[in-house]
Every structure is written in C-alpha cells, then in structure tokens.
Amino acid sequence: LINELDDIHINVGDIIVDHLTGYVGILISRSRRIDMVKDDVYFWEIMWTKQSHKRKGNQIEIAGVLEEETLKLSILIGAIELYSVEEK
C-alpha cells in the first residue's frame, strides 16, 4: 500500500473530484508542517468550486485543506478522482 501511495503524484493545478460530496476542487498550494511524531507532514490547500451533482438535503461543508497522505489514500480507493496537469 505504501508503494502504491508513493506512485501517486500530486501537483499544483491538479483538479480533483470528491465522489462522496460531489465537489470539484483545484489544488492551490502545498505546505509543510512539523509533527512531533511523524516529523514532516504535508497539506494541500484546495479551492472547492462546486458540486458536480445535486444532493438531497443540506449542502455538505468540506474543508479547504487536506493532509497529503489522506488525499492520496482517497485517490487510491477511488473516493477522489485526480485529473493531473502532468498527465499526458
């Protein structure tokens, strides 16, 4: 699983689709934070643009920042779809 996560490359400008909430987002920037246990932890700032489909009930609020490993794991399991600026 670790090797598969390492094979996922994320870049500024990539577009992601969150299939659970229906939101579409653009990766704006990556920041590094220091953690006492894991040392370096990286976070992605995301500008969420809109829902790609209508949900019944209240609109879901989602954060504008995701931890990199969580984002990669979500991509790996298919909860988030990645459209890379580097993909040919």
Q: Are 12 and 45 in contact (CB under 8 A)?
A: no
HSE-CB of 41 using CA atoms within 13 angstroms? 14
Please list, in sequence order, all residues whose beta carbon lies within 8 angstroms of the beta carbon of residue 34, skipping any fewer than 6 positions away: 40, 41
Q: What tens digit of pLDDT does each residue of 25-71 get?
A: 999 999 999 877 768 899 999 999 866 555 555 566 677 899 999 99
The structure's pTM equals 0.80
Question: What letter would DSSP give residue 67?
Answer: E
